[in-house]
Each structure stands twice: as structure tokens, then as C-alpha cells.
Structure 1
Amino acid sequence: MEPNFTLESTAEEVATAFAKEIENKNVLITGTSLNGLGFETARVIAKYASLVIITGYNAERLRLSEEALLKEVPSANIRCLILDLSSLTNVRKAAAEVNAYAEPIHVLINNAAAPMGTFKLTADGLENQIATDHVGPFLFTKLLTPKLLAATTPTYTPRVVNVGSNAHHYAPEIDFATIFKPDKGSFNTTVAYGQAKSANILATIELAKRARGKLNAYVVHPGVIYTNLNQHPEAIPVLKQMGLLDENGEPSSARFQWKTIPQGAASTVVAAFDPYLDDKSGVYLVDCQIATETIAPHTSDPTRAEMLWNLTEEIIGEKFKL
């Protein structure tokens, strides 16, 4: 890739390098609370983009993000969208609002995720992790596909970026049966998170295949980062058990190399704007570089990707066709 970014590169450095690619683009980023990867992504993009749509399920937190972005980039065109990815009804409502916008969407960044925690069922009867990290974003992407395709030109193909994780290695193959019928008795927080991140990768692989060049899809592992997600009260005991946090709840470097939030958001910005990736839809990025070969075998299986796609269509009650 040119420039040659590394694990130490920041989102700001990437955005500066691709300023011309970001210009005149309308970008929608899910999960943009302060002290998170989505906010940092929005912050560096806002300096150049025509429109940045930020989302969150909490109106007050969303307002704080908007204020912080406009304070730093007064010229930015920021638009707020209430989006609760754990609710299919709310996803449909938010998508309808976006589809009523006059502008097309050039880049959709599915960044939002649920913190690791206890077993919860959503209003739709789904386990909260898979619902928020995979099923909700799948439906949102499906409903916004016409908006994305409207951004197509002879020289530009719209992009979908999914924020996954190397934590998919912590989970065995996705248990398709429990997606339909979540089982509290067999629930394991780490496995649930890993399976949700596996779903992000499988969905990206299948979207890239089905889009046949009409959309480009990428999935990224941002790294191990001390974001607001990892500071959630329910997540702290789990992360301590995994060795990510020490006894005081602070990041532990004993087993993992931590990144800063600016470093963590860098791969997302590469996936969203690096022209080198134009003909490489479906790849997995780690430390701003293509690392598809590092995906766990059960998460790179095209047969499993198709199975997950078909199952998710059943859950949302809609076919996702491009």
C-alpha cells in the first residue's frame, strides 16, 4: 500500500494522505461516542468530507460528539442520526431517515458494537452481541444499499467498511442454531463476542462476492485499544479474566500490544479511502495492511459465509440482493 502505513500510523496521518479521496464524499459512521474509534474516524474525516453522518442510540451522547467535532472543525458538515442497532425496528426507522436525505452515501462504516457482558435478549429475541454487531448492521447496510449505489460514478465505487476483530480467533465456528434460539445456559461472553466478530468477516466476504463490483466491502481489525467500549462496567471483569486489563482495570501489556485510539482508527480510514484497495474488495486489514491470510479458517470459509448470509436474511425477513 502507498503510503506505507504501519501499526503506529494514526487516523490523522491516513486522512491527510488521502485528503483528495475524502473530498466531496458523504460518509456515515455508526457508533461515534466520545473516546471511541468511530468518533476519531469522524474527526479526521470531517476536515475534508462534504458530509459526515454520526450515529448513536443515546441522543445526549450524540449531541456531545457533534459539539466536540464542530469545536475542532467548525467548517465540518455534521449530521446526527439516532440508531439503535439492537432493534430491527429502530434500524428500519433510521435507514428510512437516511434514504430521505438528498445526498447519496459514498462510504458506510459499520463501526458500532456492543460491549462484552452478561447474557441479554433484544426486543427481537436475539442475543444482544450478535444482534448489535452483525444482524443490525446487516439490515442497515441492506436498506442503505440504494443510497450507496447512487454514489457510483465511472471512476468511483462506493464502499462498506465493517469493523471486525482478531478476537474472532477466540470463538469456534458460529453456532447457527443459537442465533435463532439463544441459550442463556450455554452463553459465554468471550465466545459470543468472537462469533459476532466472525460474522463481521463472513458477511464482508459474502457482500464482496454478491456485489460483483457494484460495491466494495472491507473488514478491519483495529487492534487492542482502551476505548469507551472496553471501559464499560460489564466488560471490565471479562477483560480482566482475558488478561487485557490488570487488577486495577487498566490496560495490561503483559500479553497484548495496545494501540492508541488514533492508531486504532487508522485501518478504518485506509479501508474507506485508499485507492489501492479499489480492486481488492473483501480483504481483511490489520495495521493498515492487507492481512486476509491471518483470518481463522472457520471465518474465511465461503460456504459458511453464504450460510450466515441466508440465515441473516431469514432473521430480518428480507432478501439482501444487489
Structure 2
Amino acid sequence: MSFPTFTPRSTADEVAAAFAEQISGKTVLITGTSVTGLGFSSARAMAKYAGLLIITGRRPHKIQEAVDAIKAEHPSANVRPLTLDLGSFASVRKAAAEVNAYPEPLHVLIHNAAAEMGPFVLSEDKLESQFASDHVGPFLFTKLLAPKLLASSARVVVVSSGAHAQGTIDWATLAAPDASTYHPLAGYAQAKLANVLFAKALTARSGGRIQAFSLHPGAIDTSSAAGGETFKTLQAVGIFTPEGKPNTEMVQWKTLAEGGATTIAAAFDPRIEGKGGAYLEDSAITEQGINPAALEPANADKLWTVTEEIVGEKFTF
């Protein structure tokens, strides 16, 4: 079977249609699926074909909005809501226990949710909020679901960002955050670098039994309409104009539909099977734009060990 070559303008619907056979009958769990966000773009495209689509959010009414929107478009879709706050170990443990009790297998786990890119905030577990929600929570959730993932030779997809290339891991403050050294953009870049390292380490440590991929979805405007801290942070550095519009001179933007495409390719493209740990952009594996720190296995191993210490559990296979 031949598959198309995708472009930066390929949409989530186009990629999902190309891999309809691979998606068919699969159970997919994707985090962070509010109707105005990137995750919803991927979720609604997969819902047409998936056997079961599990979507998550911190607030039940927001998840139900997404369920209703998907069902309105695809009435026969099998969609299940799951309450999950990745910034809370307690919430992660509760949600993982619920998923582990499901009778269905789990074929694909997509980590899409992310914290606000704003002022220094501590999570309820006393971690910097972006690092907590974007890396530590997903690490713990994956660890708790590992037996289910291994049983189905699952793929794990971690939505990173091209901003990881500017990231550095501040090892001294991961477990003991320091407000005086924090900057929201640096915190974001660090968390997204952690995403790339996690995908590499998860594939390696599982002996390839779990294939994990990280990716850059492209620059997508999900914050200007909502305002909020992420918008304020990006406006302060000129990514949004003083009038609140996307700055097309600074950034090449994608639509939400285009932004959701690479996630689906990472989850289902059979051409990348066996290439776990790779990084994707524009729905294909790339080696361009990868932070050199992400290519050092020692960094992935150290982050893994530090994260185990933070969550208080060993992640073994």
C-alpha cells in the first residue's frame, strides 16, 4: 500500500483519511482536547475512524463540550470523556486507574495537553507548573499505563515544539523550583525539550516495545481569542502584535486543521514503525531543528532518573 507525501499545508482530516485503515478499530487516548485547541483538531479527525476515542481535560463540562462537538460531526463516533489534570499527581493516578479498568486495550497515547505559558506558578505537588503538566504528569501517566501499552505494542506521541531547540534543562531547579530564575518562555522551552528526551528514553528503555515519537505541530494560534497568560507572554515578545493579531512577519503560521496533522502521522503512519524516538515536523520524520542536547542519551537517562525521583516511583518494564 502506498501513502501520500504530506506537506506543511496537509490537514488533520487528510492525514487521518490516508491512515483510515490504521486508525480503524484502535483505542486512542489524547490529552488536552478543549474545542478551541490543537488537541481537538486531531481528536475530531481521528474520531471518524477510531474504535474508541478517549479525550481528557481538567474540567468535566469542557470535556463534554468536546464530546458533543465531535458527536455532532460524527454521530456514530465512540467518544469517552476522562477527567485529568496533568499538574496533579493525585488526578493522574485517579485517571490512570480508571483507564486501567477499561476492558478495551490501549493502542495509542497522545500527550497533547500543556500548561499556560505565564508567570511562575507552583503545581499542587510543588513543581513549576509548565514542567509539571508538560513533562512530569505525562511521565507518571505513561508509567501507570505501561502494562496496558505494552500489551498492545502501543505508540506514544508527545506533542513538543520547535521551541525545544532553545531549551536547556536546569537540573538544579527541577525538583526545587526557583522563581528568581524563571522565565515563561525558558520554562516552555525546557518542558518541550523534556518531551523530546522522554520519547527517546521511553523507546530505548522499553526495548522498542513502546514506540514513542515527539513532534513540532507548527505555530498555531490557539491563544489570541482566549487571551490569558500564554497570549500575554507571546505578545510581549512580538509573536502577537500589539493589536493581538498573529505576527506573520515573525512566524509562519498554520491553521488548527493543519496543526493537528503531524500528531496523527506520528500515531499511525506505518512508514515510521521501528523508528521510535524520532522527531516529526510537517507529518514526517526530520533531523532538522533538533536541539543537540536532545541527541545525547545521557541527558535522556538523567531526566528519566530525576523524574522518577520526583514522582517517587521507578518506571520499569
TM-score bracket, shorter-length normalisation: over 0.9
Alignment correspondent of 2:76: 75
Q: CA deviation at 1:148?
A: 1.3
The 5-angstrom pairing of residues 242-261 of structure 1 reads 242-261=237-256
The 5-angstrom pairing of residues 138-157 of structure 1 reads 138-151=139-152, 157=153
Alignment correspondent of 2:96: 95
CA–CA distance in structure 1, aligned partners of residues 89 and 35 of structure 2: 25
Q: CA deviation at 1:115?
A: 1.8
Alignment correspondent of 1:109: 110
Q: CA deviation at 1:150?
A: 2.2
CA–CA distance in structure 2, aligned partners of residues 9 and 165 of structure 1: 18
Amino acid of the structure 2 residue aligned with 1:200: N
Alignment correspondent of 1:137: 138
Percent identity, aligned pairs only?
51
What SS does the aligned partner of 1:217 have? strand
Q: CA deviation at 1:31?
A: 0.3
Q: Is the 8 A contact 1:115 1:230 kept in 2?
A: no
Q: In the alignment, which of 160, 174, 177 is matched to residue 156 of structure 2?
A: 160
Alignment correspondent of 1:124: 125
Alignment correspondent of 2:200: 205
Q: In the alignment, which of 278, 287, 296 is matched to residue 292 of structure 1?
A: 287
CA–CA distance in structure 2, aligned partners of residues 58 and 237 of structure 1: 23
Q: CA deviation at 1:300?
A: 2.1
CA–CA distance in structure 2, aligned partners of residues 162 and 230 of structure 1: 25
What SS does the aligned partner of 1:292 have? coil
CA–CA distance in structure 1, aligned partners of residues 147 and 259 of structure 2: 30
Spell out, residue by residue over 1:73-117, the C-alpha distance to the aligned partner (whole angstroms, 9 max, x if none).
Answer: 000000000000000111000000000000110000000001210
Alignment correspondent of 1:7: 8
Q: CA deviation at 1:7?
A: 0.6
Pair 240,229 (structure 1): closer, same or farther in 2 beyond 3 Å: closer
Spell out, residue by residue over 1:212-232, the C-alpha distance to the aligned partner (whole angstroms, 9 max, x if none).
Answer: 121110001001001148844
What SS does the aligned partner of 1:208 have? helix
Q: In the alignment, which of 167, 175, 183 is matched to residue 178 of structure 2?
A: 183
Q: Is the 8 A contact 2:3 2:18 kept in 1?
A: no
Q: CA deviation at 1:41?
A: 1.0
Alignment correspondent of 1:271: 266
CA RMSD between the two structures = 1.3
CA–CA distance in structure 2, aligned partners of residues 293 and 283 of structure 1: 11
Pair 166,231 (structure 1): closer, same or farther in 2 beyond 3 Å: farther
Unaligned runs of 5+ residues in structure 2 are none
CA–CA distance in structure 1, aligned partners of residues 106 and 230 of structure 2: 33
What SS does the aligned partner of 1:294 have? coil
Pair 315,28 (structure 1): closer, same or farther in 2 beyond 3 Å: same
CA–CA distance in structure 2, aligned partners of residues 284 and 221 of structure 1: 8
What SS does the aligned partner of 2:174 have? helix
Q: Is the 8 A contact 2:224 2:245 kept in 1?
A: no
Q: Is the 8 A contact 1:83 1:90 kept in 2?
A: yes
TM-score w.r.t. the length of structure 2 is 0.97
CA–CA distance in structure 1, aligned partners of residues 38 and 218 of structure 2: 11
Q: Is the 8 A contact 1:201 1:300 kept in 2?
A: no
Pair 232,99 (structure 1): closer, same or farther in 2 beyond 3 Å: farther
Spell out, residue by residue over 1:137-193, the C-alpha distance to the aligned partner (whole angstroms, 9 max, x if none).
Answer: 000011111111222xxxxx310000000111233x201111111011111111000
TM-score w.r.t. the length of structure 1 is 0.96
Unaligned runs of 5+ residues in structure 1 are 152-156
Amino acid of the structure 2 residue aligned with 1:203: F
